[in-house]
Structure 1
Amino acid sequence: MNRILSFKWEIAAPLFGALLTSAFAPYDYAYAAIAALIFVYWVWCQQTPKRAALTGYLFGLGLFGSGIWWTYISIHDFGGGDPYSAVALTALLVGVWALFPALTGWLIAKTSVWSGLWLRIIAAAVAWVAVEYFRGYWLLNGFPWLQIAYSQISTPLAGFAPLIGVYGVGFLLALSAFAVVEILRDKVHVMACLPVLLAIWSGGWYLQSVSWTRAAGAPITITLVQGNIGQDNKWQNSQQLNTLRLYRTLTEQHWDSDVIIWPETAIPAFLSQVQAAYIDPLQQAAHEHGAELVVGLPSEGQGKDYYNSVMTLGEKPALYHKNHLLPFGEYLPLQPLSGWILDKLQIPLGDFAVGGDRQALLTAGGHAFVTTICYEDVFGELVARQIADAGYIVNLTNDAWFGDSSQPHQHMQMAQMRALETGRYLVRATNTGVTGFVGPDGTLLKQAPLFTTTTLTDRIVPMSGVTPYVWLGDKGLFALLAMLLLFTYGCSYWSAVNPANQAVLSDGNGGA
């Protein structure tokens, strides 16, 4: 019993990891994120780095086990994997991503012994978001799911997103939780931490009322088409004609709209296969009605290359090829090992080519727009670097791969952050949901019911101007965080070597 009690924090860690998941959509208990962060920081500050890494790993198992369990659906239900292989691969992914909270725990345990209240807090918050950034942007092409800032889309901290982006919001959330822990550990820290906490949360509340961009023209009417084609028969040759007829019929009911948008790979055939019989007549019809179509379909490139593409039809026909591909879904990293494993498990996955960074913006409704396909909308810098010349953001997605799970809701929440960061309307057409319109403040304005064949129409205002985050970018934010950390370290060192000045950054115990 004593041995079990000695591991009480490790036993509780997965539960608090799952609690953090509840802060995200569709549960939306946003402030549960603070409770989870308070717990894990409290524990890490009392542990050795190795023990903190273990606690962090178990915390990560709870977080990702409850947060990305839907991977099983894509592998088993639609990928063709047997149940054992699907469970094994899902468990492997959860285990790999749990290594990142373990790394965070190790780093924070290292810094928790530093002198200086704010040096400890800032170092820990920087460590948290730095590890998130590495996981979300670099490793295996990036997997930013369940980054803490996305849970705050409806709290006052969302007001900071147009200034410092998703990682800046995550930093402020972590800093807030860690400051609360320092207060709980020693009430002497109240006077040092409380004013900062009040400034952060009241400042975020105020910033939510600030408009960083402005209207760039008259409103345009957009119709989003949700075909609700089952993923299990989407690519069946026997269903292709029915699918093409469905999208054509739904579109013909909305020729009075300025722009009509279909989901990712709504056309289940290569462009060359449907160009003459389907695309060209659509192009002609759109031109005659003064409307423009934005459709998703695969297309061929040079040699054996093929792309996940978006095509505009109407006044300015053009193509965009997806640039940020999904690992293990649209390309196979770690070759030849990953290909050999998937072949053994008999799980078929695609291998698309990258479209490239220098593609011109597509245009519809008289305005250029940033195009994102599927999970491209979860990368803030990808959208931000193109937004200056764009009036709005378009996302084409097919989340049918994950069934009736939390994934479509989590994905929409991340898309909402892109609208908030850039001060643009975002329109999102999906195969089964969540299809909807998002305002420049990140609010989900209108949503189609999930798993329903339907259309959704609304008016948006093209916007111009850039937010501070668009100018700063994620790399600029981390440069600022590095300078803040160095400054805090310098102040702590200065206080330590000048006893008369210790009160400047006192940790509440008479020391620096």
Structure 2
Amino acid sequence: MERLADKVILVWGFRRMLLAVFAGAFGVLALPPIGFFAAMFVSFTLLVWLIDGSAAAPNSNPIGRLWPSFVIGWLFGFGYFVGGLWWLGHALMIDAEEFAWALPLAIFGLPALLAIFYGLATALARIFWSDGIGRIAALAASFGLLEWARSVVFTGFPWNAIGYAMTPVPLMMQSAHVIGIMGITALAVFVFSAPALLGTRQGAKLGVPLAALIFAAHLGYGAYTLYGPSTPTQKADDKSPVVRLVQPMIEQTAKMDSDGDRAAIFEKHLKLSAEPPKDGGKKPDIIVWPETSIPFILTDNQDALTRIADTLDDNQILLAGAVRVEDMGPGNPPRYYNSIYMIDGRGQIIGAADKVHLVPFGEYMPFESILNEFGIQNIVEMPGGFSSAANRQLLTLPSGLKLYPLVCYEIIFPDEMTGDIGSAAAILNITNDAWFGATPGPYQHFQQARVRAVETGLPLIRDGNSGISALVDAKGRVIAGLALNETGFIDATLDGSAFSSSSTYARQRYFWLIEILLFVIATGSRFGFVFKQN
């Protein structure tokens, strides 16, 4: 181990750059669909040793002294994000004639930008760098801080935060209920980096047992939560609603084809909704269709509402993804919203929830007037793009059941689980991951949705056009579901018996406390106040 550490620390030039990219890319094995979390031990051990060997030129200015560490972190991040996000290019190939030119930007450009956060993390860590345990504390604190920044800067994109590598199964998800995914991220980097101490013979006597203790506490809390005594807040009974998830598996090319058979698409949803329950079970109380499942403006099509009424029983409720249009008056263009409609058994729209957090370049165009001059437009063709809702509104069903609505990637933002979520009985997440085909993207999206359920302590109702559709309990366990690219439906009873709801603000407080403690350890080690070891 010591000989390997010396080789990595001393490697130079192109081989050093290549090793940094490899270290980041290897960590992708920890993400879905593989979920081999131990890969991160290799990635971060190599990263620590590479930073150990990041020497600046003599007499460099402050920025120059940090630059080699920034470059190592950026290369590490570039490998991680290319390996973890290459599938975004699949969406551009749906309409290759129009968007194939942007493929390099999706596969390499976005990772290059996201890698800046990791470069800043390693540069910040270098300020507090020392020989022992302090350096892995500095790296953990810096990654925690910059991963949080990645979730908020320029509307945020916290996809594949490092903490998700530590949550491949429900046993390893439960800590998120207390400290959130960002808290897990900071502690995960500490744990993943600990083997580096064995290779440099400094700080291992304290750092490795401490990392082992953190990991054991992570597993122990998960085991206690899943298998120990618990106080359910709500149990499924005969009055608990049965939810049907409809997964029609409509090809994205068919959804985008202006000359396509929109009536056939609509009828496929209706047919799956009208199917009798399997094994003679109870009829569903709630039927869920995925994002933008209604292939036309519903309020302009009374016949479609009539067909829905003919399909539903009087006491059934349909929750369907649709484009909602709002007339802004004479002389003003209408506004379009990516929405969820609530429709009763008489075909009446009795509620709606609009998407708040839109996808840049997908649902709206930043700096639209400038970029349009260069012929750059949204992937989703909508005049003027979508508009975002001013705030998130709960969907309250006639039964009184309240759902917290999230459309597509809104569910990846942990800090947005606020507002009235404490009064919700479940999270409702509809999506259309058909854009990404049979790539790792839908699997990664599903894992992040499950972690949101654990964080908030709420069951998750998740429906996707191509999957993965599932009813997930508040501990992240799949109650029932449909596999990726499977066509069909699944009925399951909504069961809220898990955690009491958890406050986003409480998780944020614990995250910042973890950050402070890690920076205290790093500072004390750096300046010799504490943890100084030979």
- Common fold: TM-score over 0.5: yes
**Corresponding residue for residue 199 of structure 2:** 184
Q: Could you say if the C-alpha distance between residues 508 and 364 of structure 1 is closer, same or farther in structure 2, counting changes exceeding 3 Å?
A: farther
**Corresponding residue for residue 7 of structure 2:** none
Q: 2:487 aligns with which of 445, 453, 456?
A: 453
What are the residue-to-residue correspondences of 1:347-362 with 2, within 5 Å?
Answer: 349-350=381-382, 351-362=385-396
- 8 Å CA contact retained: 1:14, 1:61: yes
C-alpha distance in structure 2 between counterparts of 1:146 and 1:493, whole Å:
30
- 8 Å CA contact retained: 2:446, 2:468: yes
Q: 2:304 aligns with which of 272, 275, 278?
A: 278
Query: Does residue 247 of structure 2 align to residue 226 of structure 1?
Result: yes
Q: Could you say if the C-alpha distance between residues 254 and 395 of structure 1 is closer, same or farther in structure 2, counting changes exceeding 3 Å?
A: farther
- 8 Å CA contact retained: 1:18, 1:63: yes
2:323 corresponds to which letter in structure 1?
P
**Corresponding residue for residue 292 of structure 2:** 265
What are the residue-to-residue correspondences of 1:96-107 with 2, within 5 Å?
Answer: 96-107=113-124
- What secondary structure is seen at the aligned counterpart in 2 of 1:197? helix
Residue 471 (structure 1) shift: 4.5
| Percentage of pairs with the same residue | 24
Q: 1:291 aligns with which of 316, 322, 330?
A: 316
Alpha-carbon deviations, 1:335-383, whole Å to 9, x = none?
4344334x25896644111112252334376521111110011111223
1:50 corresponds to which letter in structure 2?
W
Q: 2:48 aligns with which of 41, 58, 83?
A: 41
Residue 390 (structure 1) shift: 1.0
Q: Which moved more, 1:326-335 or 1:483-492?
A: 483-492
- 8 Å CA contact retained: 2:88, 2:436: yes
C-alpha distance in structure 2 between counterparts of 1:95 and 1:190, whole Å:
34
- What secondary structure is seen at the aligned counterpart in 1 of 2:312? helix
Query: Does residue 532 of structure 2 align to residue 507 of structure 1?
Result: yes
C-alpha distance in structure 2 between counterparts of 1:466 and 1:176, whole Å:
29
Alpha-carbon deviations, 1:451-499, whole Å to 9, x = none?
232111222213586455535143x344324542565478669964xxx
- What secondary structure is seen at the aligned counterpart in 2 of 1:204? helix
Q: Which moved more, 1:56-65 or 1:211-220?
A: 211-220
C-alpha distance in structure 1 between counterparts of 2:483 and 2:162, whole Å:
27
Q: Could you say if the C-alpha distance between residues 129 and 337 of structure 1 is closer, same or farther in structure 2, counting changes exceeding 3 Å?
A: farther
- What secondary structure is seen at the aligned counterpart in 2 of 1:437? strand
- 8 Å CA contact retained: 2:412, 2:452: yes
Residue 23 (structure 1) shift: 0.7
Query: Does residue 405 of structure 2 align to residue 371 of structure 1?
Result: yes
**Corresponding residue for residue 233 of structure 2:** 214
Query: Does residue 73 of structure 2 align to residue 56 of structure 1?
Result: yes
2:274 corresponds to which letter in structure 1?
E
**Corresponding residue for residue 500 of structure 1:** none
Q: 1:205 aligns with which of 212, 219, 225?
A: 219
2:74 corresponds to which letter in structure 1?
Y
- What secondary structure is seen at the aligned counterpart in 2 of 1:123? helix
- 8 Å CA contact retained: 1:44, 1:52: yes
- 8 Å CA contact retained: 2:41, 2:195: no
Query: Does residue 170 of structure 2 align to residue 152 of structure 1?
Result: no
**Corresponding residue for residue 477 of structure 2:** 443
Q: Could you say if the C-alpha distance between residues 108 and 463 of structure 1 is closer, same or farther in structure 2, counting changes exceeding 3 Å?
A: same
Q: Could you say if the C-alpha distance between residues 18 and 259 of structure 1 is closer, same or farther in structure 2, counting changes exceeding 3 Å?
A: same
**Corresponding residue for residue 6 of structure 2:** none
- What secondary structure is seen at the aligned counterpart in 2 of 1:70? helix
**Corresponding residue for residue 133 of structure 1:** 148
Q: 1:81 aligns with which of 75, 98, 113?
A: 98
1:166 corresponds to which letter in structure 2?
I
Q: 2:446 aligns with which of 407, 412, 416?
A: 412
2:270 corresponds to which letter in structure 1?
R
C-alpha distance in structure 1 between counterparts of 2:231 and 2:46, whole Å:
36
C-alpha distance in structure 1 between counterparts of 2:479 and 2:490, whole Å:
11
Residue 330 (structure 1) shift: 0.7
- What secondary structure is seen at the aligned counterpart in 1 of 2:86? coil
Residue 223 (structure 1) shift: 1.0
1:339 corresponds to which letter in structure 2?
N
**Corresponding residue for residue 3 of structure 2:** none
- 8 Å CA contact retained: 2:338, 2:386: yes
1:18 corresponds to which letter in structure 2?
A
C-alpha distance in structure 1 between counterparts of 2:454 and 2:233, whole Å:
13
C-alpha distance in structure 2 between counterparts of 1:19 and 1:385, whole Å:
38
Residue 119 (structure 1) shift: 4.3
- What secondary structure is seen at the aligned counterpart in 2 of 1:317? strand
- 8 Å CA contact retained: 1:263, 1:398: yes
Residue 271 (structure 1) shift: 2.7
**Corresponding residue for residue 138 of structure 2:** 123
Q: Which moved more, 1:37-46 or 1:221-230?
A: 37-46
Q: 1:173 aligns with which of 173, 188, 205?
A: 188
- What secondary structure is seen at the aligned counterpart in 2 of 1:144? coil
C-alpha distance in structure 1 between counterparts of 2:114 and 2:272, whole Å:
41
Residue 182 (structure 1) shift: 2.7
- 8 Å CA contact retained: 1:161, 1:417: yes
C-alpha distance in structure 1 between counterparts of 2:523 and 2:109, whole Å:
42
Q: 1:253 aligns with which of 260, 270, 275?
A: 275
Residue 46 (structure 1) shift: 2.5
Normalising by the residue count of structure 2, what TM-score does the alignment of the two structures yield? 0.84
1:159 corresponds to which letter in structure 2?
Q
Q: Could you say if the C-alpha distance between residues 5 and 239 of structure 1 is closer, same or farther in structure 2, counting changes exceeding 3 Å?
A: same
Number of positions where the alignment pairs a residue of Structure 1 with one of Structure 2: 491
C-alpha distance in structure 1 between counterparts of 2:261 and 2:39, whole Å:
44
Q: Could you say if the C-alpha distance between residues 294 and 345 of structure 1 is closer, same or farther in structure 2, counting changes exceeding 3 Å?
A: closer
C-alpha distance in structure 1 between counterparts of 2:200 and 2:158, whole Å:
32
C-alpha distance in structure 2 between counterparts of 1:217 and 1:443, whole Å:
15
C-alpha distance in structure 1 between counterparts of 2:191 and 2:14, whole Å:
27
Q: 1:12 aligns with which of 19, 25, 49?
A: 19
- 8 Å CA contact retained: 2:335, 2:387: yes
C-alpha distance in structure 2 between counterparts of 1:306 and 1:424, whole Å:
30
2:457 corresponds to which letter in structure 1?
G
- 8 Å CA contact retained: 1:384, 1:473: no
C-alpha distance in structure 2 between counterparts of 1:233 and 1:506, whole Å:
62
- 8 Å CA contact retained: 2:521, 2:531: no
- 8 Å CA contact retained: 2:243, 2:492: yes
Alpha-carbon deviations, 1:238-270, whole Å to 9, x = none?
311101111111111158112111000100112
Q: Which moved more, 1:31-40 or 1:483-492?
A: 483-492
- 8 Å CA contact retained: 1:362, 1:370: no
Q: Which moved more, 1:349-358 or 1:199-208?
A: 349-358
Residue 61 (structure 1) shift: 2.1
What are the residue-to-residue correspondences of 1:395-406 with 2, within 5 Å?
Answer: 395-406=429-440
2:326 corresponds to which letter in structure 1?
G
2:532 corresponds to which letter in structure 1?
D
Q: Could you say if the C-alpha distance between residues 302 and 185 of structure 1 is closer, same or farther in structure 2, counting changes exceeding 3 Å?
A: farther
Alpha-carbon deviations, 1:180-226, whole Å to 9, x = none?
32343225x23322432232122112211225762166333111001
Q: Could you say if the C-alpha distance between residues 495 and 63 of structure 1 is closer, same or farther in structure 2, counting changes exceeding 3 Å?
A: closer
C-alpha distance in structure 2 between counterparts of 1:345 and 1:252, whole Å:
39
2:319 corresponds to which letter in structure 1?
V
What's the Cα RMSD here?
Answer: 2.8
1:382 corresponds to which letter in structure 2?
E
- 8 Å CA contact retained: 1:271, 1:300: no
- 8 Å CA contact retained: 1:437, 1:444: yes
